[in-house]
Amino acid sequence: MDEQTKTTALNSRHRDLKALIAPFGGWDMPIQYEGIIAEHAWCRQKAALFDICHMGEFIFQGDFEAGGLEDVFSFSVTTIPLGRSRYGFLLNDQGGIIDDLIVFRLAEDKVMVVVNAATADNDFAVINSRLRGGSFTNITDRTGKLDLQGPLARDVMLAAFGEKIASIPYFKFITMDILGVEAIVSRTGYTGELGYEIFLPVEKVCQLWDLLLQDQRVKPAGLGARDVLRLEVGYSLYGSDIDETTTPLEAGLEAFVNFDKIFVGKQALLSQKEQGIRRKKVAFQVSSRRSPRHHYEICFAGETVGSVTSGVFSPMLGCGIGIGFVKPELTVIGTPFTIRHERVGMEAVVCELPFYRDGSLRS
């Protein structure tokens, strides 16, 4: 293992479970336990437990407007209701996505910002540089995070922690006692299934992991299954599908940009809207079980017109699926593509997102 690679508090648990471990976003993370297909199926049918302790968490406390936080993101922080969260972007001056993130409204003057692992240090520095006041703290090292995802997740949580769990609607969270400490339980996730994200002090995360895995309806799942799950429902992966060279308009994520407020990158996006985008995210389905891979070429009428940014075999569809970027006129549903890499070629057709629509997400 690289000396600079970080480990989560659960690293020994993963090794005890004979997980395949590899670096991800600067962290030593479990890719799979019994296998990606099996873990994917368990999440779609029952409840899968993911170690997400590598994510970054920051706390801002103060006046959102006077402190400058309101102008930092592509969405309004001030209008997030208490006990709810909002997804959106931290953008650069050119409208490129520095990171996609979620902000949780903890109190009238307090929020938690949850960011991607690989970008956490840079995110903190960028946000901090844009603030004019308030208190801004990086709590990543002292925060543990587990995700329980799947149609049986609510039943498992109710059995472990009581009736409070039942009242949490989608994209809302509560603060409650878990294992004798204050924890945030959020009805959010990255799989397209009913699920919960649990934030608590890192010293309690091993105990929580052990407790949840005592339930026979729960099995651990790694980042391999998580990647298949998220792509089946069309969620973007930072560093693959979106990055600082990609704008929300190109990525089909304009719904998470509030043009009625001030934010860094707004003028660049307005200019892009006026001039028109030159490339656009496209989703496609392969006519075989072959998996399109990152950087494979997207070809149309014999010419290379783009490249794949994410691709997997979808167990739910029984074929390869992927997303990439092409000229806007080539994103019409039904447009035929050939996906190529060296001697490999696979026929594909443009389709709508999400690929898989029958998850338990809003159950």
Q: DSSP character for 338?
A: E
Report the pLDDT value the prediction gives residue 2, as an integer from 0 to 100.
46
| pLDDT 10s digits, 183-230 | 999 999 999 999 999 999 999 999 999 999 999 999 999 999 999 999
Q: What CATH number is given for 278-351 in this structure?
A: 2.40.30.110
| pLDDT 10s digits, 35-48 | 999 999 999 999 99
16 backbone dihedrals φ, ψ, rounded to 5°? -65, -30
Mean pLDDT over 354-360 rounds to 97
Strand order in the sheet with 20-24: 6-7, 27-32, 20-24
CA distance 42 to 36: 10
pLDDT band at 1 (very low <50, low <70, confident <90, very high): very low
Domain-wise residue ranges, the chain: 6-53+141-232, 278-351
CA distance 99 to 248: 11
- Token pair for residue 319? 């074929």
Report the pLDDT value the prediction gives residue 363, as an integer from 0 to 100.
87
CA distance 117 to 173: 22
Q: Amino acid identity, residue 304?
A: T
Report the pLDDT value the prediction gives residue 3, as an integer from 0 to 100.
55
Structural contact between residues 249 and 283, judged by C-beta atoms closer than 8 angstroms? no
Helix (H/G/I), strand (E/B), else coil: 168:
coil
| pLDDT 10s digits, 262-288 | 999 999 999 999 999 999 999 999 999
Task: Look at residues 191, 106, 103 and name the one whose alpha carbon lies nearest to residue 148.
Answer: 191
- Token pair for residue 289? 């079980």
| pLDDT 10s digits, 84-142 | 999 999 999 999 999 999 999 999 999 999 999 999 999 999 999 999 999 999 999 99
Superfamily, domain 6-53+141-232 = Probable tRNA modification gtpase trme; domain 1 (3.30.1360.120)
